[in-house]
Amino acid sequence: MKCRLVWCGVILLAQFSMAQETIKDFGKERLNNSPRHGEWVDIKSGARTIKAFVVYPERKDKAPAVLVVHEIFGMTDWARSLCDELAEAGVIAIMPDLLSGQKFEDVDGARKAISALSKEQVKADLDAAADYVLTKIPSCNGTLAICGFCWGGGVAFAYANENPKLKAAYSFYGNAPDEASKVANIPCSVYGFYGENDERVNATIPKAEELMKAAGKKYEPVIYKGAGHGFMRLGEPDNPAVREGDKKARDEAWARWKTLLAQLP
């Protein structure tokens, strides 16, 4: 069955070195001061109704859309501020709440909730959000890409094999596919963003490069020197304990990402 992406491998992302990490959430200031319009919307996903956060760019013409897959921590202030930053870069950002409003005080709770999600539900919710932005938002120009972070980075890479409408996929420090069947249907280029000090995730890159090359697919992973796992969040300037390696990687990754986003049709 096509939707069996071996999501169990993706779900295992929640069980890695983040066990040592506390939840550090940043982004509230950006959200409170943003001039862009952000809103919560209700989306039908089968028999369920899910919430999604949408932020619109300040532009007169129609814009591409990026489907955002959050970390295991769910709809944090940082995740929503990332959507605002994407809109600042000129695209519509839509992030479905795959954890149905759940909040967590620690990593163990977040990991447990993520592990309880079924692969079918995750795919259905991503499909619903993708269909919503393409058919219900008039300011979308019909172009759809996907990005994800940590657990979401692995989900984004996996989902690229499931949605033929995608024009690009951006995977941030998430596990890469390990079987030919998981890349065979990818319709777009995949761009990877990884931290140097993230050996468990980075160990999955060479096999994915081999598989993507054999399948005639474009995969461009970049490993940012001195950065650790989660550098897009932990490298935020609002982080009082920000490490220079994470900050530098975040800045470099955003510069690269904005260039790629500008290339979306």
**Per-residue pLDDT tens for 204-243?**
999 999 999 999 999 999 999 999 999 999 999 989 999 9
Chain mean pLDDT for the chain: 92
pLDDT for the residue 38: 97
At 130, the amino acid letter reads A
User: For residue 2, what pLDDT band results from cuts at 50, 70 and 90?
Assistant: very low
Locate the DSSP E strands across the chain. 38-45, 48-55, 63-69, 92-96, 140-149, 166-172, 189-197, 219-228
**Per-residue pLDDT tens for 72-124?**
999 999 999 999 999 999 999 999 999 998 878 788 999 999 999 999 999 99
Q: What is the dihedral of CA 201, 183, 131, 147, to 10 degrees?
A: 30
SS3 142: strand
pTM to 2 decimal places: 0.91
SS3 236: coil
First to last CA, the chain: 31
Residue 74, sorted as left (phi over 0), alpha (psi -120 to 50) or beta, turns out to be left
SS3 181: helix
pLDDT for the residue 104: 80
